[in-house]
Every structure is written in C-alpha cells, then in structure tokens.
Chain A
C-alpha cells in the first residue's frame, strides 16, 4: 500500500505567543514540533503499513527549518519524504500550500492520503480538504477509526452528538482527529535510521507549478493577542441577592446567558 502523509510544522503547544514590532508573530526561540494532529495521521499511516506493507511518504511544504520535523516523521518510521521548498511559497496561503501538496502527491503512487484535521497554529482546517479537491479525490474529515479493505476505507467520524460511519473509495484524503490512535515516539534506532532516509527537496518548477501559480489569494496583515484577563469581581451581600446580581451581570454585561 502506498501511503502519503502530509505534515505541517507548528509551534509547540506550550509556546508563549509573542508579536514582533510589525504585527507578525515572533517565532524566535520557539520550539517547533510536528502539528499534533498530523502525528495522529503519521501513526495511522504506520499502522496501515504494518498491516498491509508498502511505503509511507511524508509530504510537506516549507524551508530548511521544517527539516527537523520531516526528519522526526522519518524517525517515527515513515520511509521517505518530499519537501516542497520555493521562495515563491514564503507567504503561501492555504490555497497555495494545497496546490503545492497536491502537485507533489500527484507525482507519487498513492492509495491513501492522511493528514491532521487542523493545524494547531492558524487552525484554518482548509489545507487537507483543498488538497483532496486539487487531486480530484474524496475527503473525509475528523476520523476516529479507520479500516481498509481492498479499495474501500470504512471510517468512523465525529459528528455533533455522536459518530457517523462512512464508506469511501480509495484513494481519498482522510484527516485525523484526536482519539484515532496514540502516536508513537521515535526510537533511538528510528532516529539513527532517519538520517539515511531520503528527503527529496523540490521546487515549484520540479512539481510543475510556476511562481504565478502559487500567488497567495489571501494575506494576514496583522495579528493581535487576546486582551489580558481582568481581575475577578466580588459580589457582596446576602447569597440570594448576590446570586440575583450575578445572573443580571452575566446576562446584561457579560451577555453569556
């Protein structure tokens, strides 16, 4: 089975987010990790490989600094990787990233594409779905369970108030939700082996796109941090009166009830 996993490098979830002077996010000194949802996708890919044999290829878009995350995926057990790196992708939006991923994937043999449900940094949740669209294949989001039989995948996905069972013909893009599995840690043997595995670095031209093809359609000119939390409020008086006042404040000031 030929399995493709797309990954994104994100900030460590415990990182303290700070802004630079220009309204952008200051990435200096931040520990960078594989997007946690993508780790579920990697684990599921490795399980499929253990069951059916074949190869797992990691595909990602980004510069040199994402190499450690790609290498970590290889250390976990993926077989090889493609990293699409091009100056024209420096400010890529979800659309451009998905176009690049799809072109890179299209060059590979693939039976199934796994991705994280969402990236924990910008949380757009667009890339995997757009990639499926660009490849002209179906996608199923937020899967909690996956069974593959021949060219059919049976997945359980989370819906409001319950779960849904879906059958989908492969190839398809499936996105991993928390609960799908427990991602393994790379072993020392895996880390040692990862340096011998191939990471193919490809430019836009290599995958058949021009810089103009990857011009972003969106940009984020400014980020802002949540306003600092204000101190609590003590409502004095008898319990019954205080409760009445609390209910009024929640309704009229906080507007939460």
Chain B
C-alpha cells in the first residue's frame, strides 16, 4: 500500500495547481460578482489535456486515468469550486459515457471536441418534478421512424444553455418507469425545438451556468440514440457512478480550501495577545476540519483506485461523495465562524465557500440517496457495481 503520488501524478498535481492559480484564481472574485462563465478556461483546460481522462488516445484522451483525474480536479476545485464541473460536464459525463456505450461513429464524431474543450458538454436527467426518482421523468422521445421527436423539459442542468453536445435522458416506453428510459446525444447547435433558459437565481456556483431546457418537438436524428433503447436508466446510473466523482472530489477540495483559509487566519489573527489558533476551542475546530477533510480525500482516492482497477465502486463512490459533502458543509460553516465578522464580509471567501458547499447535499444524488446506496449495498439489498 502506498499513500504517495507517483512522479507523474506529482507533476499532474503541480501542473493543475499552477493552472488553477494562473488561469482561474485571478478571476474568482470578478466572475463570482458578475455570475460570469469564463468559457476560455474550458478551452485552456482542453489544450492542456485536463479534460481527457480514461479516454482512448485516438479520441484525444490524455493517457491517464482516475487517480490522476481526481488529483487534478482537486487542485482546480480548491481554487474555484465552480470549475470542478468542467471535468464532469465534458469528460466523465458525455465523453466517457459515449466511449462506453456509443458506436464507433458516435465516438469519433463527439468525443474529440469534448476532450479538446472545443465543445461544452452537459448531461440532463433532472426535471421539475423528477429528481431522485429518475424513473419518474416525463420528457418523452417518440419514435417517428426516421427520427426521434422530443417533448418535455429538464431542470437544473449544469452548463445546459452554453452546451454544444449533451446527453439527454427521456422516456421511450410509456409507463415503463426505469425500464422505459433511453439516452440521446444532443447536438444543441443543430437541433431545432429546444429552448434553453438560464437559471440565474441560485444560492451559489455563480460562474457555473445552470439551465432549464424545454424540448418542443425537437427533432433528434435516429442515430443519436446512445446505447440500447430502453436501457437509459442503466446508462444513467453507470454515468452517475463516474460523474459523482466530480462532486466527491470537488467537495473534498472545497473542504480543504476552507481548512487552509481557516488555518492561515487562525495563525494571523491575534486576540488577547496571541494568535487565536492558540485557543483550544479554535484548535478543536481546526482538528475537526482536518480529520473530516482528510477522511473525505482518502475516500475519494479509494473510489478512484477501485475505478481505475475496474472493481465495484458504487458504494465507495457514494461514501466519498457523502463524506466530501459533509466535510465541505461543516468546514465552510466553521471557517465562517472562525473568521469572525470578516467571515461574514463578502471581501472574504467564506460566503462563497458556504454557498458552494450547500450544492453538494443535493447534486447528483442527495445525501439521503447516497445514504440509501451505502446502506443498501451493506445490507445486501442491492449489488455493488
């Protein structure tokens, strides 16, 4: 057993950290304030190979896998949580799913642009009235012989209105529930009948666009069905088991950012003639944060290791996501408290950390859903995939 990084992983870590400090950090406050999605960051990530994990090199993959991917994502998310979405939105979501379930034509047509950052990727599952209960979705794809006709709407879709290529899950067998869903590849720039509405009233993740998508007789070519018809639920769960690593890693990184900030502040801020870090109650806060943050990080690495070795990882992924989410919310909360009045000022990052942390309790499986997966597998009620 080795807790260290290989020389190559260390280089990936350094590179991602330098990238985040150089290309993302200078814009954090400005983009937060303006709710601005800085598209060129995605292109730069693509140029440097930061979007091509576990993808064959013939489609532009970077030749590296899960452990390197979470190492890089961690460094990026630590600087700005919103940018963790790039790797899920382009690579682990559409590109990896097309690579697993797609035809040769689909792979060659869609994966390279997602990996190079030329295209913005997305995936759409959630609807206004269908969240955790994926099988209850209503968006319908009617088989019209030579094309599919999509009607319905999707809600809370990351990157939806800026996306070029995305996956959309829809019902293909009425009343089939989870057994009646299919997955479609949508070319947003060439599909009439889709209205994309930005969701601007969000508590956090301001520079990361979120959207409502309305499909009104959207014509989707027959060949854009991804994987077997009516196997969409299976594809969706397979995909979520990958994209959830974005939440797991992003939340663990956010927790680490809170700890780093809190630690520096505790060493610098002086009260009663000494740094506040000397007070035991502050030390308790730091100790709790450190414990939870490291636990979350190690769970992320274990899940990544299982995936890299193609071992069942669903339970480990849910554990990493849940632990990361709990650590992020708790750490953000404590950081704000530790910073005192400054923590409540928007001049300091505590407000952003707290806003961004709260998303993780809902996104890609609520905490309750993950609790259910962990317990269900443990109790033998469901297999660990």
Interface residues in chain A, defined as those with a beta carbon under 8 Å from any beta carbon in chain B: 31, 33, 67-68, 71-72, 75, 185-189, 191-192, 194-195
Contacts and interface: CB of A to CB of B under 8 A. Distances in A.
Given A192-B62, A192-B64, A71 B48 contact: no
Interface string B36-55: 00000000000111101000
B7 A71 contact: yes
Contacts of B11: 68, 71-72, 75, 186, 191, 194
B7 A68 contact: yes
A227 B259 CA distance: 28
A9 B65 CA distance: 28
A67 B6 CA distance: 12
Contacts of B47: 187
10 contacts: A71-B7, A185-B15, A185-B22, A187-B47, A188-B68, A189-B62, A191-B11, A191-B15, A192-B8, A192-B63
Contact of B12 (A31, A33, A191, A195): A191
A114 B12 CA distance: 26
B284 interface: no
Given A68-B11, A71-B11, A72-B11, A188 B18 contact: no
A68 B5 CA distance: 12
Nearest first, the 10 closest Cβ-Cβ pairs linking A and B are A188-B49, A188-B62, A192-B63, A187-B48, A187-B49, A191-B11, A185-B15, A189-B49, A186-B15, A185-B18
Nearest to B50: A188
A108 B49 CA distance: 33
B360 interface: no
Q: Secondary structure at chain B's binding surface: helix, strand, loop or mixed? A: helix
Nearest to B61: A188
Contacts of B7: 67-68, 71, 195
Interface string B20-42: 00100000000000000000000
A33 B63 contact: no
Interface string B58-84: 000011100010000000000000000
Contacts of A194: 11
Nearest to B68: A188
A188 B52 contact: yes
A33 B14 contact: yes
A210 to B, nearest CB: 32
Contacts of B52: 188
B48 to A, nearest CB: 5
